Chain A
Amino acid sequence: MNVFSPWSRIAGLGAAALLAVTFPAVELNAQEATPSTEPRLLSVHPLGARAGSSLEVEVQGHLLEGARAVWFEQGRLQGRVGDVRAVPVEGNSDSEAGGGDKPVLLGVRVELEIPSDALAGVHRFRLVAKRGVSNALMFRVNSDAVLDETGQPHQTPSTAQQVAVPAVVNGRVASDGEEDFYAFEIEEARELRFEVFCKTPGKPPDDVGLDPELTLYQPTGSWFDRERTTRLAYNDDPSSYHVSRLPQLTYRFRKKGRYLIGVGAFLGGGSPHFSYQLRISDSSAPTFAQLDRNGYNRVPASWKERAFRRPIGSGRLALLESRSAGSNGTGADGTLTNGAASSHGEPVQPGAKGRDGQASIVLVKEQENGEREGDTLSVSVPGIAEGTIDRPGDVDRYAFKAERGQQVAFEVETPQVGPPQFNPRFGILDEEGRELFSNVYKRLGRQLTFYLKTVEPKTLYTFERSGEYSLVVSDLTRRFGNAGFRYRLLLRPQIPHVGEVRTDTDRLNLVAGQARKMTVATDQEEGYSGDIALVLEGLPEGVAFYPGTEVKAYQGPVPEDGLRPRFSPTSESVTIVLLAGADAPATPLPVKLRLLARPISDDGPGSSLLIKEIPTMVVRPSGDVEES
């Protein structure tokens, strides 16, 4: 029985607890959100295997003493933990390898069983060790056969490992300056895609990762050097590491012959943690990313209010309504799942209607063929303008009517190519052709030296006059355009609702008798003024939580932030302190702690929104599973 809190088990909510952000705060001396005393995985090698196979992998990381279980977040993959060994650290460019005051680098042998019906794609797993549950790593299941990198040196064109196309190869850029070469024969006029999957660098402390580069060569020789290769392609062009560090290139071979593909690290660094999976396939085959979308893989989707790639479809209004107070629409289990699997991304058919009780969204599709300069299409509010900036200088124009005082939200989606390549700019013009506003947000940065300008995926505006307005869509620079520069622009009434809810942890290892802090930030969108109740479900036995306070460091004077409400939500954050009682029993495996948010206002409570499922464990101070 929990002795700390009256909030831990509230009648009527089962194993859940309700915490309103307006609750009085309790000051507690708690640990930081991501303590360095938790198990931390750095790499797994090999990085993937074929469905229906079993194999042994080594997982390396810190604080893995007593590793005893593999925990897959979803799916039916299973693993059995074997030996744990200390990994000797050699000089390499990876600063995370250990040494100095850092914890010892450990390797854990894991035997994996991959069912033959396992979904192809990424499977996230964690290790359970003495100190709790680790961060997640990704393991890729392939439907095709997977080769392993040869044990022989193949870091030069002349020693390249021969592979047959199509191929999937598990490899590792193990040391500085290493570039792994794979040779293949190809017929004339065939088009291949090369792509690499790996753990890419992230933010500290989990920043160990490979920033891979792909280079395609032809062993042409030259007058100077008969062994010389000629570089045919490098990564993808144009490439943007802002969107993805995973390189992909597609190449059409004009000549039959022998070619080489090289896998290395950007700037040439190497590390035992730099495992990768190289895939060579016909360009018509699905990409890694497409395979991942087919399954349940990757991190469960969280609500993205402002992302150019969030889908905008027929269910958008309903989904927004469900995030507002008084909506009272819950899913089958009483919660909504953040929209990840909802219909809001489904394409809208022209003239499509919304849900019952919802305003209809009417789709207007710009016809690129036959489009003439100055053509204007009419769009209603709510409505979606869909088109393509298919050539440099293309400008699409729409007309719509708005009433005085009407509060409209404009949301842009780029379903295919997005920023920084395609930066959709729209402007709203009045009847005289004057631009009232655009989705370019200008303000001062913290450095106070430059104006910071960004193209925003969402813009709010209240019309001061009734009338007909023009919506003008183009690429920001007007220099670019192609068939991939597609956009969907939703014009809709503003709907006050709960926006993104963020936490600062991906796992909780609660030490019995100690407190642990978790910060939750909530966005209030489009004038939402109600409360947001945060709910934690599935607390382990003996664990309670309290609202906490946090003293924020002074950030300096607030710079001029322009028309911030037009482009940004209001944000608040709350600190939750979790206390595991001294007698709380240790959990042998993680439990899924569900963080939910619920909008509440005078209109009543809204739906519970599932924010995150957090693997949570209670561990004994000694690290033992059970002491009592």
Chain B
Amino acid sequence: MFGSVAPGMKWLVRLGALALGSLLAGQGGGSLHAGGSARPFSFPRDVGGILTKRGCNNQECHGSVKGRGGFKLSANALYPRDDHEWIVQGGVYQVLSPEPLGPRKSRVDLKQPENSLLLAKPTMEEPHGGGERLSRDSADYRTLVEWIRAGAPYGSEEDHRAREIQQLEVSPRQPVMGVDEEQQLLVTATLAGGLREDVTDQVNFESNQPEVAEVGDSGLVRARQPGEAAVVVRAAGRAATVIVGVIRQPLDGYPQVSQRNFIDRLVLAKLRRLHILPSEPAGDQQFLRRVCLDLTGTLPPPERVREFLADARPGKRDELIETLLNSPEFLDYWTFRFADLFRVGKSVQGFTKYSRLYWEWIRDGIARNKPYDQMARERIAAQGYGGPALHYYLIGGDLPSPQDMMGEQVRVFLGRRLDCAQCHNHPYEPWSQNQFWGMTAFYGQLTRVGDINTGTAPYNIIMDDPEGHGVLGKGGPTVHPRNKTEVQPAFLSGEPAGRNGAEDPRASLAEWMTSPDRPEFAEAIVNRIWGHFFGRGIVDPVDDFKLANPATHPDLLAALAEDFRAGGYDLRQLMRRIVRSRVYQLSSVPNASNRTDRTNYARAHPRPLDAEVLLDAISQVTGVPERFGTKPEGTRAINLVSSDMYPSRFLDLYGRPNRQMVPQRKVEASLGQALHLLAGPTYTDKLSGEGSRIGRLLAAGASNAEIVEEFYLAALSRFPTAEELGELEGWIEGQDSRQKAVEDLVWALVGSREFAYVH
């Protein structure tokens, strides 16, 4: 038993946890406190709570975009006014209109409450696609009956505010369980005014990995198999998540593991809690290759590998990290990475010159180590004619829609995807359609002056014009698509932008998004950078922060974000922190306790090289550069400004994104890659190309052993083992053509998983 509560004790610890509904029977016009005093009904809390607990308003049921069976409820009872209207006044919901479809018919019968549709459906007295959700003898049923009998009131806002749940706490916070064990979750709500109330039996529980840990309606968790699961707890208008760890067996005598910084402290603490041992530190050769690729996208050349491996000084790793962080290759690589994220491309900006100026702005920011919050503000609020302003164009010089521009910025800089809320309230998250359009209104004035297509003013300038975005028929103020009213700029929090928002809306938005008071901005970028170095974000996917996708290490995320903020949003410092940590420098060789773990950074997990890095690596190993159109020979794939201008079967096969949308690189092995490896020019033509490393070595009279060693160092950053060396020497010796044999060796090396992965 690891911190869990014995099942038999679970009810004893729930002091004051009397079921609300159980005391309702016979109380007209109000509910009762647990203490027995009469209390007026609050629709949001009393009815919304039941609908949430029973799952009536979840996204698979009436909380979905269009509702279900013509009946629409807001997900998680986020919008109780709307829910009350659809229940009491009835009507069929329409997505793009505030008007109901057809005549309205109330779903409650005030004269005969038991005959209400609201009750007949979930009790299956009438056919119900969602099955039985409520039994007639349940307390919730009786609460609903009494509420209807009381006239189905909404209740006073004052009472609602007093009883509104401000926060949910779940305990235990980080339960760790053995397989087949049970754990009762307790949920405590903090109400307005600080009153705390046990709401365990008023909430809905859901596990995102039921095969790891399943959870019952009462909040009892059963551990099924080792792993981690997030249990989402939903009450009316609020939700919380708890991560449940399931371990195979506890380790006796968990060892002390040395730490280099707070990253190690927080990661190792969780590993200890989960009884997972970290792998051993990576050897020098593994570390060297990993850190070079991760910081610079470049393989270390053989002579540098030799030097590093021969260096016995204890501080050599930190010294190398500093060298790499200040190298021109770092600048190349991180310009490429941010050109990916910020979407530089001819097909994105529409003009190669614009893409170039935009790319130069990124490169300059990386070169100067410009604080990241400043880069973000410059991009979000960009005006005029210059790098960050030029990212707003599409082919032909047209502007994207305001909602697309807003959605992209939020995804890039806050790691949130608001898209769903464009047409309706977000089905999973607490983002309403109103909030979406309030945010969009910040971009409603963004317009273009000049027109490169006409020649009258052959340039484009970005500015905010009170006359509006300028799309024919959509000019002027931002209009809510559902209720057709003008929308004023309002932050995602719902707070109106005010005067500053009207005068310089995007500058106001940029300040809000990057405010140090708001954790989302820093968390989004540290998570993204973390994801780069570990192959998995603390929130993963890295730009999909949401309730149902919680952080695996919330404390680590918060600590990284705070460190990043305190350090002046310094990207190099953030990377330095990460790569100097013991956690980053762990070996990829698993041990018995971490073999199946994927989420706790107990070891390094091999990550495929990005297409551009892989292509550059092949060129580097073979010594034969790739040729991109008319670009100078030796131009690396990561240095292409508008990569989409250069057709490349290889890059496409290995996952080069087109940057039309925020890229999500997920390289998966494919048949095309296998065929390309066999017959593609990248793998075959480079082996014997002019000036190749093979040719140079053979011409210099290198021995077979020297050739094997050179290519092992060049491709894998390690010496061949004695066994490998012996076998390969003998194999080359036995071939008719030495050149052909070496070509085959190199082909095998660059086609190997060890080469194509960071490990």
Contacts and interface: CB of A to CB of B under 8 A. Distances in A.
B385 A224 contact: no
B631 A224 contact: no
A421 B301 CA distance: 44
Residues of B in contact with A, size category: 35 or more
A146 B635 CA distance: 31
Contact of A454 (B383, B384, B456, B472): B456
Interface string B122-139: 000000000000000000
A419 B457 contact: yes
A452 B459 contact: no
Interface string B25-53: 00000000000000000000000000000
Interface stretch (B209-217, B431-439, B443-451): B443-451
Interface in B325-383: 327-329, 352-353, 356-357, 360, 364, 383
Given A225-B301, A453-B447, A268 B629 contact: yes
A238 B629 contact: no
B628 to A, nearest CB: 8
Interface in B420-479: 447-454, 456-465, 467, 470-472, 475
A54 interface: no
A442 B466 CA distance: 13
A434 interface: no
Contacts of B450: 419-420, 453-455
B630 interface: yes
A266 B632 CA distance: 11
Nearest to A203: B455
Contacts of A615: none
Interface in A230-257: 230-231, 234, 237-242
Interface string B380-417: 00011111000000000011000000000000000000
B266 to A, nearest CB: 31
Interface stretch (A189-197, A277-285, A474-482): A474-482
A230 B327 CA distance: 9
A270 B633 CA distance: 13
Nearest to A457: B457
Contact of B632 (A178, A240, A449): A178
Interface in B275-313: 292, 296, 298, 300-301, 304
B630 A477 contact: no
Contact of A228 (B328, B364, B384, B627): B328
Nearest to B330: A222
A239 B357 contact: yes
Interface string B626-642: 01011111010000000
Interface in A404-425: 419-421, 423
B651 interface: no
Contacts of A230: 328
B324 interface: yes
A220 B326 CA distance: 12
B97 interface: no
A454 B630 contact: no
Interface in B626-677: 627, 629-633, 635, 645
B385 A238 contact: yes
B22 interface: no
A477 B463 contact: yes
B327 A222 contact: yes
A264 B460 CA distance: 26
Contacts of B452: 242
Given A420-B459, A450-B470, A455-B449, A264 B632 contact: yes
Interface string A386-408: 00000000000000000000000
Contacts of A178: 632
A480 B384 contact: yes
A580 to B, nearest CB: 33
A331 interface: no
Contacts of B735: none
Nearest to A177: B632
Contacts of B298: 224
A268 B632 contact: yes
A590 interface: no
A449 B324 contact: no
B323 interface: yes
A511 B398 CA distance: 46
A240 B447 CA distance: 20
Contacts of B632: 155, 177-179, 264, 268
A298 B99 CA distance: 68
Contact of A423 (B449, B475, B630): B449
A449 B460 CA distance: 16
A224 B470 contact: no
A423 B328 contact: no
Contacts of B472: 444, 448-451
A116 interface: no
A331 B463 CA distance: 46
Given A225-B301, A454-B449, A177 B360 contact: no
A251 B465 CA distance: 36
Contacts of B457: 419, 454-455
A268 B360 CA distance: 17
Most buried by B among A421, A444, A451: A451
A311 interface: no
Contacts of A225: 301
Contact of B465 (A269, A448, A453): A453
A500 interface: no
A93 interface: yes
Nearest to A446: B454
B381 to A, nearest CB: 8
B386 A238 contact: yes
A53 B453 CA distance: 44
A267 to B, nearest CB: 6
A450 B468 CA distance: 11
Contacts of A270: 630
A253 B329 CA distance: 22
B686 to A, nearest CB: 18
A450 B385 contact: no
Contacts of B323: 223
Nearest to A262: B632
A222 B323 CA distance: 9
A234 B360 contact: yes
A231 B328 contact: yes
B670 to A, nearest CB: 31
A447 B467 CA distance: 20
Nearest to A269: B630
A449 B465 CA distance: 17
A386 to B, nearest CB: 23
A56 to B, nearest CB: 30
Contacts of B453: 445, 447
A242 B463 contact: no
B467 A454 contact: no
A366 interface: no
A176 interface: yes
B360 to A, nearest CB: 6
B620 to A, nearest CB: 9
Interface in A527-545: none
Interface of A: 93, 155, 176-179, 220, 222-225, 228-231, 234, 237-242, 264-270, 419-421, 423, 440, 442, 444-455, 476-480
25 contacts: A176-B630, A177-B627, A177-B630, A177-B631, A177-B635, A220-B328, A223-B323, A224-B292, A224-B304, A228-B328, A230-B328, A237-B360, A237-B364, A238-B386, A239-B357, A241-B353, A242-B458, A267-B629, A420-B385, A420-B460, A420-B461, A453-B448, A453-B470, A454-B457, A479-B384
- The 4 A-B residue pairs with the shortest CB-CB distance in the complex, in nearest-first order: A420-B385, A268-B630, A420-B459, A477-B383
Given A231-B328, A421-B384, 10 more contacts: A93-B630, A179-B632, A234-B360, A268-B631, A268-B632, A268-B635, A452-B451, A455-B461, A477-B462, A478-B504
Interface of B: 292, 296, 298, 300-301, 304, 323-324, 327-329, 352-353, 356-357, 360, 364, 383-387, 398-399, 447-454, 456-465, 467, 470-472, 475, 504, 627, 629-633, 635, 645
